[in-house]
Each structure stands twice: as structure tokens, then as C-alpha cells.
Structure 1
Amino acid sequence: MKTATTSTAQEKCWSTKAKPWWTRELSAVNKERSSLRKQQQAHQAHWGSQNEVIGQLLCQTTNYFCRLFKHKKKAWVDQTLEEATPYDVWGFCNWSKGTRNYPSPAIKHTNQNPVVQYKDKCNALQNVLFQPHPPLANNDLPNIKDTHLDNIAHIELTKTEVQEAIYCHCTKKAPGESQQTFVTIRWAWEAKEDIIFALMHHCIQTGHHSNNWH
């Protein structure tokens, strides 16, 4: 049975990134806890009742394991936050979010082998769904250099408009991909309002709208 399983089934490998705070001390305590649990089960099967001494040791070991687990996890989190760089801070909000990857089925072509790789799938979908548009007649480029009489007058952005846009929302809202609440944005505005206003002003002047602001 073991030989057949080894040759046919894939061996389960624990991920090193699943619990980065796990240590050898936790493994030793957890192993001792499992051993006491097996002893209690064997005593229950043989004598029909549980052993009080083993039960007390199991309870003490379990409590010690839970406290040690919390301590190791807290120490790892504190160390990670202390060693964090400005580029790592934006990823901490994703700790509480579960990420799952579901592989898509292979794409079949006519008289061709199924497409399995991600790049090949993108190319196949692009060739079928996003074909080049046909040539259009009288498709002249618009003239954006000359000023027309019916153009809407451009009004420059003011600090009051930016401040109202920041302070008119609820403090618990978190716009954008960064998931930073408006409380944090207000703190940043109070500290560096000139920099934030200059950034908004130049982006509007150049017509740039970052996807992170959507």
C-alpha cells in the first residue's frame, strides 16, 4: 500500500511561508501534546476511562502551546513591522485577505494541441476576441492644438476643492487599492498639504489619472 501510494500520489510538502513564525520549540511542544493525546486515547480504549494525570499534563501542555504560539507570532509580527520599508507597508493590509488561485482549463484549438500555458492562453484569446479593427474611411485625427470658441474654459484646481474632497467623506471609507481610510488621508493632508495639492494639480494639468486613485 505504501509503495503504491508513493509511486502514484504526490507527496505533501508544507509551505515555509504558511506559518513563518513557527519554530522548533513549537514543533517539540506540539509533538509532546500529540503524544499525550495518544496515550490518553490508549488508556481510554484499554480501561474505559481517562487517566487524570495524563489529562492534567495534556491540559497544561495545550495551554503552554497556545501561549507560546501567540508569543512567537507576536514577536514575528513586531520584527516584520520594525524591519519594514516604505514599499512593504502597502502590502500589510493584505494579511487578512485570502488569496486563491484557480487554474483555468486548457483552451482547445481547431486541429491544434490544447493550450495550457498562461501566455499561450492570452495570445489565443487575443487572436480570437481582440482582432484588429477594419480600416475606416475619412478617419482623420482630431485637431487638439488650435483653440475653438466652443471649448469649455479650464479652471485650475484650488486647495479648497482638494480639502473638501478629502473631508466630505466618512472617515472609515477606504478608497483605492491601498485601502487607506480617509482618516489616514486627513492626517497626511494636515502634515503635507502642499505636496498633496501639488501632486493633484500637476496630475490634472497633464491629464494623468493613476489607477490607484480609482
Structure 2
Amino acid sequence: MEQQQPRILVVDDDPTVAEVVSGYLDRAGYAVDRAGDGPDALARAAEHWPDLVVLDLMLPGMDGLEVCRRMRGQGPVPVIMLTARGDEDDRILGLEVGADDYVTKPFSPRELVLRVESVLRRVRPAQPSGLLRAAGLTVDPDARRAQKGGTELALTIREFDLLTFFLRHPGRVFSREDLMRDVWGWDFGDLSTVTVHVRRLRGKIEDDPARPRLIQTVWGVGYRFEEG
């Protein structure tokens, strides 16, 4: 049986950018849908749920952040945000609403394809593995489900990957560069991506996120997961 092509939804109000990105993704073997604004993107996603969304931040009417929020409310889907603005606040805002990556225009379409491939690889674990348990947390890497005290955790794809990595390596200290390489699979990128995801994950697994006990900051080095 032939394997189905991963479906990518490209959302950008600039027809030239959308055409170039779609062309590169098509040649890389993906099935590509296109949308020029937020409502169109949500309608197309409802019709054919994508495996990943390439989403422009600056859309007319409903911006990319709102589109991302609404999609995240319907179900887990990886999101790579595009924007012409390189301001750090915009990058962090995109990550806060659940984007998995952030690419600033102008960008290399080939690099974007590599980012898409990297994100999709992380969504589909290569080999089965058993349940992970620590500090009242239970993670099922194969089903991609996580619980705290028996209650399901609503984690984004990267938050889940980060928690799984920490549970597999308790007591070890990892720098942000280590986490970007081992969790994201990148040897390059904005390290604030890691910082934001650690903060978001703490907000979901810590009893008091302002005084984290599980994911501890090792000043000047990075982060360490303590089993409690």
C-alpha cells in the first residue's frame, strides 16, 4: 500500500511567497494546500486536516496568532510561523500560542523544507518505547499522551517532546544548545525557543511554576529534571 503524502497547509497573503513555498514543498514530496487569509485557512483545515501548517503572522483581518490559537483548539498540529518582522517579542508571542518553529522573512525555501522535515520527524517516533513515569507524571511516547496525577495534560508537540526527553534523562543537566539539538534536532536556531517551551511546560506540570521543583534552572548552564 502506497504511503500517503504528508499534507502541508501554507497560509500567506503574499501570492509570490505562497507560490514559492508551495512549489518547494511540492517538489519535496508533500501534498500542499494554500490559503490567503485566516478564515480560508481554518476552512481548509476543517476540510482536510493538515499534518503541518506554514503560517504567516501578518495576515489581513485575523492574524496568524489567532489562526494558530483556533487550530490548536481543534487539535494538535505542528505550526511553523513566517513573518517579515524579526522582533524578539513577535517570535516569543508565536511560540507562546503553540508554534513549533519561527522563520523570519526573507528566508531560504530550502531551509524551510528542512525545518518542515525536522518537525514532522519529531512528531512520528521511529521506534516504540514503554511508559515513562516520574514525580506523578506518566508519559506514553507511542500514543503521545501525558498525564499528571491521572489527569490528561494538554501539551503542544514540542512540549511533549521536551517532557519526554527530560523523563528519559533525570538528574542530568542540559544546556539550551543541548536541548535544541536533542529535542528539536537542530544545530542552529533561536535559543529563546527553548526558554519559552521550558516556561510553558513548567506552567503545565509544576505545582508552583514560579518555584519549579521538577524542571530546575542550573544557573549559567541550563536545566535539570528532578524526579522529586
TM-score range, shorter chain: under 0.3
Higher relative contact order (CA 8 A, sep 6+): 2
Greater helix content = 1
CA radius of gyration, larger in: 1
TM-score normalised over the length of structure 2: 0.19
